[in-house]
Amino acid sequence: MKASDPRPDSWVVELDSINVLGDPLSTSGGWQARKAIVLPLLAPSLCHLVRTREKTGATLGIFKPKEIRELIIEPEEPATWTEGELNILSQEPMFNRKPFKMLEKIPYKFIYVFRCDDPACRGHRLSVVDWEVAQAYRRWREYYGNQWEWYFRQRFETEMIHKRDTHFYVGTLRAHPDSWIIIGLFYPPRSAQSKSSGGMR
């Protein structure tokens, strides 16, 4: 069912339609089962998605960056939820189960700087709002205290650049449909061929 959100990609999830596939989505075997679902959806580049949105209004996509240059970590401002954000968080959640406590706001922005595979690309800088990234920060801050950033960078910078065949799921903000953000990461192990061409520059 179409959501009230005017973006054409926004739909209400039909809960009864969700199927847990289990083992076929395992990351074993080079993520082949996941690749079979995800890779047919690939766009050539973020630049391509931007041009497509201007023509069709489409605001979701996945692509493989040509080169990830760095991960920037900078303080989030404001550091606490705004009144509008608190109102959204207090709404009834999707599965009709309210959280036991208020969701913590991550006090940092995580930003990937990259270039996509488009001849006209001048480079991009996109914020990451992926749940896994936020949860990794919470977990490693708890385990490692002030040393959390080293472990975080090992995973989301070093590994994503040198060890993983990293793709970005991207979407736009409802209030700013021309502003793109990274909403998820798809990162199967890199093949021997891709390992020879990757790196941070």
Q: DSSP of 80-131, one letter per residue?
A: S--HHHHHHHTSPPTTS---SSPPPPPSEEEEEEEE-S-TT---EEEEB--H
CA–CA distance, 105 with 92 (Å, rounded to integer): 18
Question: 113-157: per-residue pLDDT in tens?
Answer: 999 999 999 999 999 999 999 999 999 999 999 999 999 999 999
The pTM score is 0.81
CA–CA distance, 7 with 178 (Å, rounded to integer): 11
Question: 34-80: per-residue pLDDT in tens?
Answer: 888 899 999 999 999 999 998 888 889 999 999 999 999 999 876 66
CA–CA distance, 47 with 163 (Å, rounded to integer): 25
The answer to whether residues 102 and 130 touch, using CB atoms and an 8 Å cutoff, is no
pLDDT of residue 195: 53
CA–CA distance, 14 with 7 (Å, rounded to integer): 18
What does the angle CA 156 – CA 29 – CA 194 come to, to the nearest 5 degrees?
55
CA–CA distance, 159 with 145 (Å, rounded to integer): 21
Percent of the chain with pLDDT over 70: 71
The answer to whether residues 200 and 69 touch, using CB atoms and an 8 Å cutoff, is yes
Lowest-confidence segment of 31-45, 80-94, 169-183 by average pLDDT: 80-94
pLDDT of residue 175: 79
Residues 6+ apart with CB under 8 A from 60: 9, 169, 170, 171
CA–CA distance, 14 with 174 (Å, rounded to integer): 21
The answer to whether residues 74 and 56 touch, using CB atoms and an 8 Å cutoff, is no
From 115, 129, 107, select the one nearest 180 (Cα to Cα): 129
Q: How far is CA 57 from the centre of its chain?
A: 20
Band (200; pLDDT cuts 50, 70, 90): very low
From 122, 123, 128, select the one nearest 74 (Cα to Cα): 128
DSSP secondary structure code for residue 191 in this structure: P
